Amino acid sequence: MSEAITVSLGARSYDIRVGSGLLKSAGALLAPMARGPVPVVTDEHVAAKHLEPLLLSLRNAKIDARPIVLPPGEGTKSFSGLERLTSDLLKTGVDRGGVVVALGGGVVGDITGFAAAVLKRGIDFVQIPTTLLAQVDSSVGGKTAINTAEGKNLIGVFHQPRLVIADIDTLASLPRRELLAGYAEVVKYGALGDGNFFTWLEAHGAKALGGDKADLTHAVAHSCRMKADIVARDERESGERALLNLGHTFGHALEAATGYSQRLLHGEGVAVGMVLAFRLSAKLGLCSANDSDRIERYLKQAGLPARIADIPGNRPDADTLISHMMHDKKAKDGKLVFVLVHAIGQAFVTSNVSMDDVRAVLAD
Ligand code: GLY
């Protein structure tokens, strides 16, 4: 059982395969593009669970797979991490006509994509995301990056993968909290552009999160389809792609104010941020309080934080959050860019928001 979605970008178009049992088929899927040694980059946690089955599948397809195992965690996405990784990649002997595989979550995908983009002036890469967040967001669309002391993801390039293989079976071993954090991004797709999908999630989301393969495949595939369509229309985020940042202006500020710690995972910040974006939209008379309540109720019911007060520890105050927002890389010409909504499934981008209204919503 699997679905195929195409990201249509002319000569750089690629497929996203979503379904159960796909790690076993990875060899067959990769064989047409594999030439010479194929580095498989992963981290220690993912390697313990998924590396062997992947290597078996690749080797059964006569692919000369060469594992590179990185330390887990966001710290790996650094210049020193990139230096180590590019050196390890070069040592495998991969050449310009070859392909690099990223097996793991957002950290592995982001740094491997970036390394592939700069190695020998650009080598193809394949994403095999193993977290829900990576399957529905970071593995699709070609954003690659590392972090610096100045901020997250500030150094990077667009480099589209040649193929994305999202095996939903890899999600079974994720800690519940991490699965839910990724699920916030799934809910985001309904909230930003597809009210019917949001309604479907209200009815089927719990089953999908409980491991129902058909529902989970549909939730991931539909999210990927929505992202693929947006990326095809606006690859470089000059317009519509910014809709994918629904909840992120608030969410990033909350992540910064909580020190990017276990207090608030990225997806949890997006969940609270989405509710704040709906609340701000309702306050400005752009959407109904009903829709705003419905989003909040559903996120809560799914097990996600939906209010600032749901975040453990001291509550960050409105001014601290606003000052973090002003430093966000998405701020343009000193103006904050918000994704607001007319209704569930009808988001739009604006920089025409008064800080007094933002402050009032944060303080509420
Ligand atoms: N994560 C948002 C994007 O890929 O544009």
Per-residue pLDDT band for 329 (boundaries 50, 70, 90) equals low
> What predicted TM-score, i.e. pTM, was given to this entire model?
0.96
36 Cα–ligand 1 center, Å? 32
| Domains held by the chain: number | 2
Q: What's the mean pLDDT in 135-143?
A: 98
Q: Which atom of ligand 1 is nearest to the CA of 241?
A: 5
137 Cα–ligand 1 center, Å? 6
Q: Which residues contact 114 (CB under 8 A, 6 or more apart)?
A: 82, 144, 145, 146, 155, 156, 157, 159
Same-domain check for residues 183 and 298: yes
Same-domain check for residues 185 and 77: no
pLDDT digits (tens, 9 = 90+) for 330-343: 666 667 889 999 99
Please give the residue that has the higher pLDDT: either 328 or 61.
61
Q: What is the structure's pLDDT at 256?
A: 93
Please name the residue whose Cα sits nearest to atom 2 of ligand 1. 244
Report the C-alpha gap between 72 and 120 in whole angstroms. Answer: 26
pLDDT digits (tens, 9 = 90+) for 64-76: 999 999 999 999 9
93 Cα–ligand 1 center, Å? 32
Does residue 152 have its Cβ closer than 6 Å to ligand 1?
no
Domain boundary among 125, 158, 173: 173
pLDDT digits (tens, 9 = 90+) for 289-307: 999 999 999 999 999 999 9
Same-domain check for residues 138 and 199: no
Please give the residue that has the higher pLDDT: either 172 or 330.
172
Same-domain check for residues 168 and 229: no
Same-domain check for residues 46 and 99: yes
Ligand 1, residues 139, 227, 339: which to mutate, most atoms within 8 A of Cβ?
A: 227
Same-domain check for residues 13 and 62: yes
Q: Which residues contact 237 (CB under 8 A, 6 or more apart)?
A: none
Q: What is the structure's pLDDT at 334?
A: 67
Q: What is the structure's pLDDT at 332?
A: 67
Residue 133 three-state SS: helix
Q: How many CB atoms lie within 10 A of CB 278?
A: 29
- Where in the sequence numbering do the catalytic residues fall? 121, 143, 185, 227, 237, 241, 245, 248, 252, 266
Does residue 110 have its Cβ closer than 6 Å to ligand 1?
no
Same-domain check for residues 149 and 185: no
Per-residue pLDDT band for 327 (boundaries 50, 70, 90) equals confident
Domain boundary among 124, 144, 173: 173
Mean pLDDT (the chain) is: 96
Report the C-alpha gap between 158 and 141 in whole angstroms. Answer: 8
Domain boundary among 123, 144, 173: 173
pLDDT digits (tens, 9 = 90+) for 180-202: 999 999 999 999 999 999 999 99
Q: What is the enclosing helix (H) or strand (E) of 228?
A: helix 213-233
Please give the residue that has the higher pLDDT: either 216 or 363.
216
pLDDT digits (tens, 9 = 90+) for 203-246: 999 999 999 999 999 999 999 999 999 999 999 999 999 999 99
Please name the residue whose Cα sits nearest to atom 3 of ligand 1. 244
Same-domain check for residues 39 and 156: yes
For the chain, the distance separating the N- and C-terminal CA atoms, rounded to the nearest angstrom, is: 46
Report the C-alpha gap between 67 and 38 in whole angstroms. Answer: 8
Same-domain check for residues 205 and 221: yes
Give the CATH number, domain containing residue 114.
3.40.50.1970
Report the C-alpha gap between 168 and 189 in whole angstroms. Answer: 18
Give the CATH number, domain containing residue 183.
1.20.1090.10
Same-domain check for residues 117 and 211: no
Instruction: Determine the structural domain holding residue 260 and report its residue range.
Output: 176-363
Same-domain check for residues 219 and 154: no
Same-domain check for residues 79 and 108: yes
